[in-house]
Structure 1
Amino acid sequence: MLDEILRDALLGRGLRPMQIDDNAGRVLQLLTALRRPRQVLEIGTFFGFSAIHIARGLPEDGRLVSLEIDEEVAQAARRNLAAAGVGEKVEVVVGPAVDHLRTLPPLSLDMVFIDADKAAYPEYLKLAYPALAVGGLLVADDVLLDGDFSAEGDRAARSAISAYTRAVARSHHLFSALIGTDNGLLVSLKQ
């Protein structure tokens, strides 16, 4: 099923290959299955590839809210989530991520996955951290600085990714580790 979704998105619809790699998807699903979060937020839906992995690892009462800026891409993601059999566990919300993040109650999330506008990673961290419960996971994709951020303003994206990783590493309230996926997943546990 995932191969068909990937093929349709990249070849059929001509979308850029910006989704997480297969190993990163498996890591997300594994982390979700191990931690069993009930409330998960994903920043950056794209066509739903990572959301499918996260949703597959959710417990029965788990829910994923996935934020996407582009309505057309969000509609494709909803179709893909339904086709993968996880549509009822995922709500795709269209609009700027920072607007949604500002509405979240403190300590209301069990897991946050960031894979969107790289230049906004520090802002996402600033806004998502208060909403993350103690014991919650904060996961960011594309943290290796050799990624291709040309579509996002290479210099600004690199600077923001660097600022994000430094902030996470310096935090006394986050225990973090880098997982070696194609573009790097930085996984942090809120203590």
Structure 2
Amino acid sequence: MKHIGEQELLQLIRESNYAAFEELHRRYYKSLFALAAKKIGDHDEAYDLMQDMFIELWDKRTVFSISNPLTNYLKNRLWFKLSGYFRAKGFKEKHFKNFAGFLQQQHDASTHFDEMEIREMDLQYEAVMEVINRTIEEMPIKMREVFLMSRSNEYSIAEIAEKLNISPKTVKNQINIALNRIRSATSGTSTSAFELLFLIWLTIK
């Protein structure tokens, strides 16, 4: 099982091969759990969310239809589960602090956000996430690098400029252009500016 490709693995899972499903779990669980735990801030709740997600995957195994790389599909499922988690349980102080830090990093601190808006995220989630991910992948290499560094909330504008040997003004411009590309790509949906920023925040590693 360790050496078979994604599509073969998925086909075996569709045929209810539990060993193939266990291989899927072995390959992807650790990295997905780390992302869930970082967002939720609680290992026990992240564990429960991951268990629920993999149970759902097994229950829906016969209708698996995945054209994207399996890693992207599973991450999108995780973002969907996280979005549902925050809608059901609300944002706690630690979540607001993390998200507020992201907004400030994106120079969009004027954006108003509250718990009700997060709970009312619309059901176009997965389609919007696909557009966001694709738009990021299609960015010029340097722009993508700047944007990914900025949204990680680990680097300041000055630190990004220093690491990439460009000016802080260039960093800000690249971030703004990247965000504008994402806003433009998602303009055909009903996603609000706030919801868009929330979705981007969810994808931070």
Q: TM-score range by the shorter chain?
A: under 0.3
More strand as a share of residues: 1
TM-score by length of 2: 0.25
Larger Rg: 2
TM-score for the superposition, normalised by structure 1: 0.26
Counting helix residues as a fraction of each chain, which structure ranks higher? 2
